[in-house]
Structure 1
Amino acid sequence: MKSSFSEIINSETPVLVDFFADWCGPCKALTPILTSVKEELGDSVKVIKIDVDKNQPLATQYQVRGVPTMLLFKNGKQVWRQSGVLQKEELINVIKSSH
């Protein structure tokens, strides 16, 4: 069962969306950081990865011009956006402040 992007982000739980590409070096560096953020925060955040090459319309809709670009959604609204790699502590602070 595949839920639509709008269903996924329309959640009281903050949803961190990582727009990435397989050919992007910084995106690969971000993957373990996102994994450890998820491990630390558990169910208080959802983390999803969107491949811009496979989801071009979605990338265009959110004006993603460079990867990695992370967007944080709460109740379907974008509450934060950042391009590039952030460290784990920075990401955790952003997610906690969205509550």
Structure 2
Amino acid sequence: MIFSGGLDGTIVLHLAAKYHRDVTAFPISTQNSTDLEYARRFCAERGIPHIVTEFQSGQNKRNIRNSIFSGEFFEPVDISDMLTNGIRLCRGPGEWL
């Protein structure tokens, strides 16, 4: 599941890992994010596999497609979340809306 390290995602990831054996977290963040460090620590402490994808502001949109493909996201809601968050990250600071 996509996991940024925020409170809502932390709760959902905790419950997903509690009730499902095959859970992998995909923390997606910009460099030097405190949320990314929290996400790494949370996953490491609980033995949850995680694959980190760091975006640079302004990175091309092809990386969003690659992240969806490598994450094997097949549910429409997962792909929608990935696209929404990925596009926001690619736009860079001050262009979130």
For normalisation by structure 1, the TM-score amounts to 0.34
Task: Report the structure number with the largest CA radius of gyration.
Answer: 2
Give 1 or 2: higher helix fraction. Answer: 2
For normalisation by structure 2, the TM-score amounts to 0.35
Give 1 or 2: higher strand fraction. Answer: 1
